[in-house]
Chain A
Amino acid sequence: MTPARVMLVDDTPTRSAILEQALLDQGLIVVCRLESAQGLIKNVEIHQPDIILMDLESPDRDTLESMTVLNEHNPKPVIMFSDEDDNQIISKAVQAGVSAYIIDGLDPHKVKPIMDVAIARFREYQALKKELKQTRNQLADRKVIDKAKGVLMKTKNLDEEEAYHAMRKMAMDQSKSIAEISQNILSVMELLTP
């Protein structure tokens, strides 16, 4: 059985590199990795993929989709799902942020494993990005908290622990996070300092 030929279109190179490796591990062929739809239609003609995986949030999707109508002689990518099972795959794919176009003639049995890999990797990437964002926010929060603590220590003549306790109490009383309270303290200070 010849392995399916996959083309990737994704402007996030890290994600598409992860996906490429995962597909190669499955014994598939990744014929081409594009970062934008520049030359998309030409590349489809040259590389003749069986399936195209594309970042759902790429504005170039409509260009790829036009191949289903405008190109009579070239490979026609279609979204080729019909039964309930497939509807679930599509819903999962949309959730994960990946869209797939299948060129007429690819064995439908080959599609599902490819989609599963793509969905899994896109999800993994989503989780990674979320984690990174959280870490960044935490770091930023800590900076603000430290700064506000310093301000309190200086203006109210408190030691570090007392300043932190005062902030925590304020946060609990106002049901806000310590970071928000810290931001408020800094904003007020900014107002008061000429």
Chain B
Amino acid sequence: MIGANIEKKALKLGYMPLSDCLPLLVAQKQGFFAEQGLDIELQQEVSWSNIRDKVIVGHLDGAHMLAPMVLASTIGLGGLRKPLVTAFSLGLNGNAFTVSNSLHKQLRKLNTTGFKHASTLKQLIEQRKADNLTPFVFATVYPYSCHNLQLRDWLASADIDPDKDIELVILPPSQMVDHLKLQNIDGFFAGAPWNSVAILQGIGHCLVTGTDIWKNAPEKVFAVTQEWAEKNPNTHHALIRALHQACQWLEESSADAIPLLEEHLSLSSPLIDQACLTPAITGEYIVVKNKEKVKAPGILIFNRIMANFPWLSHAQWICSQMHRWGWIPENISQSDLIKQCYRPDIYRAALSDIKLPDDDYQENIISIPPNHQFIALYK
């Protein structure tokens, strides 16, 4: 009987008001949690730090979380230390880099063909140095986030040192647009819908999307503490089944979820409306206001191409990027950390009735552009 073996029925799950929290909202709204015998309360949070702390102290049973945060918290980087695990990826991609109109104009003067590669930006940065101007300020959402790692990687691929050649700051996603407008920052790297908000308001240009840097990149995961996972294995399975069903539903009918997303996200910011939520969800992306939509079907993937599988290769990729910047202490075994935090075994047990990959690793799971060099150990 469904729900018969569940250790804990009433659960509190946290999420940040971003487009990729949709699997949680849909699982609740469509009754997928209830079908699994779960009684879920969803709690909107204001910061990633809050999400982590509340999961760690047990005020939340689980949450929508940045994939690198699972690894970082397990070894105590940045805040509280407690082993976290994920057995479910909430989707792939979703990020983009939006710059101010003035920075875009300066870039256009040097290059009119495109900015997928950061070399034009590099040129501009060198000019600014020569002219003794202050460095550009770029914002991202959290130190241990794929946003930060992607932006740093993109900059480094054109020989821009993210710690020296620019100023990198952390801001909550909901404040990015205002800071860009006030010229406190020259650009931001954030997830949906914040790039679309800036673009549709006519205050920014999308320079490059996350998929141009890392195609099919991990992004948010569903995370719980290792302790919780050990105590509540059946509940965990039920959650994963409900979330998987929600992701499948989203793959078919994501546009139908826009009103639901608006209802929840507009609680956090008056800037949210259906127009800014639509581009990432439908894959018809807008890079500049009043310009033609660009077909970008992979901009936010909820379920296809095994997007929900917690690939060890994802953890490995994140770890190698964090290691590259000297964030992972030398005494930490990366291969142990990866296996501790990413739990495909739990995913397999929960979803034994669907088609599963043969291996927990997949080679070249993330594709990077051909002209993109991986400059190892930049520091």
Residues in chain A within 8 A of chain B (CB atoms): 56-63, 65-66, 68-70, 72, 78-79, 81-82, 87, 90-91, 94-95, 99
Contact = CB atoms under 8 A, between A and B. Distances in A.
B175 interface: yes
A95 B163 CA distance: 36
Contacts of B171: 62-63
Interface stretch (B46-54, B83-91, B335-343, B356-364): B46-54
Contact of A65 (B54, B56, B58, B78): B78
A55 to B, nearest CB: 10
Interface string B44-66: 00111110011011110000000
**Max chain A Cβ within 10 angstroms of own Cβ: one of B47, B77, B143, B168:** B47
A62 B48 contact: yes
A70 B80 contact: no
Interface residues of B, number: 29
Nearest to A101: B79
Interface string B135-170: 000000111100000000000000000010000111
Nearest to A79: B79
Given A61-B46, A95-B59, 16 more contacts: A57-B50, A59-B47, A62-B170, A62-B171, A63-B171, A63-B172, A65-B78, A66-B169, A68-B143, A69-B143, A70-B143, A70-B168, A81-B80, A90-B57, A91-B57, A94-B53
A94 B59 contact: yes
Interface in B187-245: none
B170 A66 contact: yes
B378 interface: no
Contacts of B77: 68-69
Contacts of A91: 57-59
A72 B325 CA distance: 13
Interface of B: 46-50, 53-54, 56-59, 77-81, 141-144, 163, 168-172, 174-175, 327
Contacts of A70: 143, 168-170
A58 B143 contact: no
Nearest to A56: B50
Nearest to B141: A62
A58 B80 contact: no
A60 B77 CA distance: 19
**Max chain B Cβ within 10 angstroms of own Cβ: one of A56, A81, A82:** A56
Contacts of B327: 69
A136 B134 CA distance: 52
A114 B231 CA distance: 34
B175 A99 contact: no
Given A68-B79, A79-B80, A59 B168 contact: no
Nearest to B327: A69
Given A66-B170, A91-B58, A94-B59, A61 B80 contact: no
A94 B168 CA distance: 29
B57 A65 contact: no
A59 B172 CA distance: 6
A58 B47 contact: yes
Given A68-B79, A91-B57, A61 B143 contact: no
Contact of A59 (B53, B144, B163, B175): B175
A94 B78 contact: no
A57 B46 contact: yes
Contacts of B49: 61-62, 65, 99
Nearest to B78: A68
B181 to A, nearest CB: 15
A188 B99 CA distance: 55
A90 B79 CA distance: 11
A62 B140 CA distance: 10
Contacts of A81: 80
